[in-house]
Structure 1
Amino acid sequence: MDELFDAVLFDRDGTLIEDVPYNGDPARVTPMPGARAALDSLRARGLRTGVVSNQSGIGRGLVTAAQVASVNARVEELLGPFGTWQICPHHPDDGCACRKPAPGMVFAACEALHVHPARTMFVGDIGADVEAAQAAGAVPVLVPTPVTRADEVQQAPHTARDLLTAIRMIR
């Protein structure tokens, strides 16, 4: 890919850390393979980083905002600091503008990082991540996991086998 990037946004669950549905326990946070090395490489190159994550467990009453914040704090302990965290706490039926595949959180993250969406890569593990990036004008990279559907992989404009491969796409 020929684009120049100023920032890389990441989905949290299934991309940066292992997906534990509705996790409210920081002790259950396990980084995905290569996550720390990928982030260290980006930071060493001066790229800004952020997290964009649907957390419908809050809207569903399964976890509290404080529990999600403590999990996010644990992610930063293990993977280093992010320039922005954008979290959608809404139930899927709420019809908000932030829940992926809507682009609201991608726009908010770009604004917080002072970058243009066109100079932003968004790395995620499902089609909603790709769709949110595309709707915002960012460049999506899908890193499939066992839960990624085959049609999501086929429709993604860019795929990578893991996080390190994804960030190697940045020149």
Structure 2
Amino acid sequence: MSAYSQEIREAIRTVPNWPEPGVMFRDIMPLLQRRDIFRKLIDSFVHRYQNMQLDAVAAIDARGFILGAPLAYELGLSLVPVRKKGKLPFDTVTQEYDLEYGSASIELHTDAFAAGDRVLVMDDLIATGGTMLAACELVRQLQAEVVEVSAIIDLPDLGGSDKLRAAGFDVYAVCEFDGH
């Protein structure tokens, strides 16, 4: 783990038993509030992706927007918000995915990418992988290529990063936490 990664990991607050008993919630708000650490976080993503010949960052609603916007700006890429169903005003493609109790849907505008665009899919954390997998499927539906999926935090115990790799996607996270 790099020095940046360790500083970033240490800035993440763990809130036990939230939103329900037994859950260890990984809160990125303290990281965002510390401008020095937030800068190191965005810089670490910039350094990773500056030579990957990307066209766009697909940032997942809502915390993915916090990361995707400054990264897209710094790299001169387009920013494509992946939104919850019903939030986009134009023609959309929709992908449903499973949650622990039920399901949800996310959408992209049909003109979000050109065929062959190279896309980074980004969110704040990888837990069970459902949202990331759904976002990757939307990118593929629009005939663009997912170069990598990226997050601040991976929770490998929940199996999401393994699911993403099994589906053929490269996965990058700045840091990992064991336990939920």
Query: Is TM (by shorter chain) over 0.5?
Result: no
Q: Normalized against structure 2, the TM-score is what?
A: 0.43
Larger-Rg structure: 2
Structure with the higher fraction of residues in helix conformation:
1
Structure with the higher fraction of residues in strand conformation:
2
Q: Normalized against structure 1, the TM-score is what?
A: 0.45
Which structure's relative contact order is higher, taking Cα pairs within 8 Å and 6+ residues apart? 1
